[in-house]
Amino acid sequence: MLDIIALNKTYRTGDRALDDVSLTLPKGQVVGLIGPSGAGKSTLIRCINRLVEPSAGEVRLNGTALTSLSGQGLRQARRRIGMIFQEYALVERLTVMENVLSGRLGYVSFWRSFTRRFPGRDIARAYQLLERVGLSDHVDKRADALSGGQRQRVGIARALEQEPELLLVDEPTASLDPRTSRQIMRLLTEICRENELPAIVNIHDVLLAKQFTDRIIGLRAGKVVFDGRPEELTENVLTEIYGAEDWQAMRNGAMESAEDEADARAQATRLFETT
């Protein structure tokens, strides 16, 4: 379980990125974190694993106060938190398997990691995870030879290789096409439910958040302005989160993307029928 209690973040410029944020995330729940640019979504995720230092408040993961840790204690706690990035954060020249095994770097000695000699248990788990994310045929392929969706699947497997107690996911679909975005979100949510793994997903696509997450938290100017089930996310609530003008622009953009995807499918069907 993750507990966030009165979390605040104020930068040296005086900008307040988080304003008294509190929430509890139980085991197995997938939360979609939505809001306009600058709302504090990425800051919240990074304050949880202390990549950004909170100004005040507390973060507790299964009873451990993450905000009170330092040094080795913080490094050990971070091993329990899997992070999945928008830009994948893979080592391009390494293979898929080597990238996944990098999720164990916090657990093995320097020389094991330097020589890439991981324990057999870690290697066996990596194979299992690659099969689960649909990449068992790409084990020895370099990361720079993969598509965007495949790279994100490697990122998911790498995070799971840590055997985490929490997943933090920062805009996993922002660089992907609509079809691949749905596949990635479906894979993420299925894996979390299979493993009773709680997750916070910072996501820009409201429709994906409504379709795949168990709960949605809306941030605006660092404050929680909505916390509820996806079906409770009405037009009025979305207008409150994004503002009338921005929500209308986002809505129009989503409709155009859906129309473009439908046109592409229709063209592909016509092409198949004529061959």
pLDDT digits (tens, 9 = 90+) for 109-148: 555 555 567 888 999 999 999 999 999 999 999 999 999 9
Position 223 scores a pLDDT of 95
151 and 45, same domain (yes or no): no
Tell me the per-residue pLDDT of 63-92, one tens digit each, with 9 for 90 and over. 999 999 998 899 889 889 999 988 778 989
74 and 202, same domain (yes or no): yes
145 and 175, same domain (yes or no): no
Contacts of 155 (CB under 8 A, 6+ apart): 84, 85, 88, 89, 90, 172
Task: Please compute, for residue 198, the number of CA atoms within 13 A of its CA located in the half-sphere on the CB side.
Answer: 15
138 and 114, same domain (yes or no): yes
30 and 149, same domain (yes or no): no
On whether residue 3 sits in a domain, the answer given is yes
Position 271 scores a pLDDT of 44
22 and 50, same domain (yes or no): yes
CA–CA gap between residue 119 and residue 124 (Å, rounded): 9
On whether residue 68 sits in a domain, the answer given is yes
On whether residue 274 sits in a domain, the answer given is no
Which residue has tokens 């694993």? 49
On whether residue 13 sits in a domain, the answer given is yes
> What mean pLDDT do residues 212-224 have?
96
CA–CA gap between residue 108 and residue 90 (Å, rounded): 19
In the predicted model, is pLDDT for residue 184 greater than 90?
yes
On whether residue 87 sits in a domain, the answer given is no
> What mean pLDDT do residues 185-210 have?
94
Reading the block at residue 168, the tokens are 């933090």
| Number of neighbours of residue 110 by Cβ within 10 angstroms | 8
On whether residue 272 sits in a domain, the answer given is no
225 and 206, same domain (yes or no): yes
152 and 204, same domain (yes or no): no
- The domain tally of the chain equals 2
Q: Identify the domain containing residue 146 by its residue range.
A: 94-163
- The angle formed by the CA atoms of residues 264, 266 and 268, to the nearest 5 degrees, is 70
CATH number of the domain where residue 198 is located:
3.40.50.300
248 confidence band (pLDDT: 50, 70, 90): confident
Q: Which of 111, 94, 90 is nearest to 158 (CA)?
A: 90
CA–CA gap between residue 98 and residue 117 (Å, rounded): 10
Q: What is the DSSP letter of 95?
A: B
On whether residue 271 sits in a domain, the answer given is no
132 and 151, same domain (yes or no): yes
On whether residue 26 sits in a domain, the answer given is yes
Contacts of 10 (CB under 8 A, 6+ apart): 16, 17, 55
Q: Which of 108, 21, 107 is nearest to 58 (CA)?
A: 21
Q: Which of 133, 50, 141, 47 is nearest to 93 (CA)?
A: 141
| Number of neighbours of residue 147 by Cβ within 10 angstroms | 11
2 and 45, same domain (yes or no): yes
